[in-house]
Amino acid sequence: MTALVPSEQRMANQIAANLAHVPAGQAAEMLAGHIERFWDPRMRARLVELVDAEADDLHPVVVMGAGMLRKSRKK
């Protein structure tokens, strides 16, 4: 871990790591739900931007979860 990794990426990866015991699809839903519930909109947008930009070292569950966040934003 370094301080230069964007906070949103570090935090989202950490949430994903803590959901590793759950099947990936369900983990992505839980991650998206958690982020919807606790993160400020600009942080969610920033995470989606990082995923869209295919930032390095993003947890696969974060990538899946960001897709759900993106859909949720469009609703």
> Can you give the binding site for another protein, defined by CB under 8 A?
1-4, 7, 10-11, 14-15, 17-18, 20-22, 34, 37-43
Smaller CB distance to another protein: residue 44 or 51?
44
Q: In terms of CB distance, is 4 or 53 closer to another protein? A: 4
The answer to whether 51 touches 73, Cβ cutoff 8 Å, is: no
Alpha helices by DSSP H, listed for 19-59, are 24-38, 41-52
Name the minimum Å distance from CB 56 to another protein. 15
Tokens of 24: 């990936």
